[in-house]
Amino acid sequence: MMRKREFLKKAGLLSASALAAPFLGHGSKATNVKSLVTEKTESGVPMKLVIGSDHAGFPLKVPLVKLLQSWNYSVKDVGSFNPEPVDFPDIAVLLADEIISGRAELGIMVCGTGVGAAIACNKIQGIRAALCHDTYSAHQCVEHDNVNVLCLGAQIIGQSVAQEILNNFLNAKFSTEEQFRRRVNKLDQFDLVPPRK
């Protein structure tokens, strides 16, 4: 049976940087993403982030928390706190509550593929989540769609790619252009529409 990474590579679903990520050590010549990140502070107070994962996302979430803290973000981890099985919708609710309450500005949710995390988060009123495994989507989802939760798949991308995606997501700003504001306003109206029977 073909191993998952070999299958993804053959199918063209795994980038060269993702393939290399598990092999990048301390002596790597990979881009130092930290040096590209703009420090997000307002009056000297770090931007507040919330991060969560299920058991499948836990191995990627742990180094990402340390990375974000090294970038001078205030990070609240809502779980999971170990690799024991947990249901991602439960973590998504905790993460969303931090954003909706105003205790966090943006969220990062990590599961196996990122798909379940995105579905769960998008079911919650006031949350706009995007699954991003490339740097372009990571900044455009904020610039055009005012996304407030980034979803990542720990089984799809490696830590180096995740760092670049986070860099693009956290440094993006929602466009002031009327067309994007109008479209996001229409998305917000969906929260007020009762479900069809």
Q: List pLDDT tens digits, range 125-179.
A: 999 999 999 999 999 999 999 999 999 999 999 999 999 999 999 999 999 999 9
Residue 12 located in a structural domain: no
Residue 104 located in a structural domain: yes
Q: Residue 57: is its pLDDT beyond 80? A: yes
Assign residue 129 the CATH number of its domain.
3.40.1400.10
67 pLDDT tier (thresholds 50, 70, 90)? very high
Q: Residue 2: is its pLDDT beyond 60? A: no
- Give catalytic status of residue 111 as yes or no: yes
Residue 39 located in a structural domain: no
Q: Residue 99: is its pLDDT beyond 70? A: yes
Pick from 82-91, 134-143, 147-156, 183-192: least confident: 183-192
The predicted pLDDT at position 19 comes to 33
Residue 140 located in a structural domain: yes
Residue 23 located in a structural domain: no
The predicted pLDDT at position 42 comes to 54
Average predicted confidence (pLDDT) for the chain: 83
Q: List pLDDT tens digits, range 12-23.
A: 334 333 333 332
Pick from 13-27, 64-78, 79-93, 139-153: least confident: 13-27
- Distance between CA 115 and CA 57 in Å, rounded? 12
Q: Residue 76: is its pLDDT beyond 50? A: yes
Q: Which residue has the higher pLDDT, 10 or 150?
A: 150
Residue 77 located in a structural domain: yes
- Give catalytic status of residue 144 as yes or no: yes
Q: Which residue has the higher pLDDT, 24 or 67?
A: 67
Number of structural domains found in the chain: 1
Residue 15 located in a structural domain: no
Domain range holding 146? Answer: 45-190
Residue 25 located in a structural domain: no
Q: Which residue has the higher pLDDT, 1 or 184?
A: 184
Pick from 41-45, 48-52, 103-107, 182-186: least confident: 41-45
Q: Which of 26, 55, 111, 133 is catalytic?
A: 111
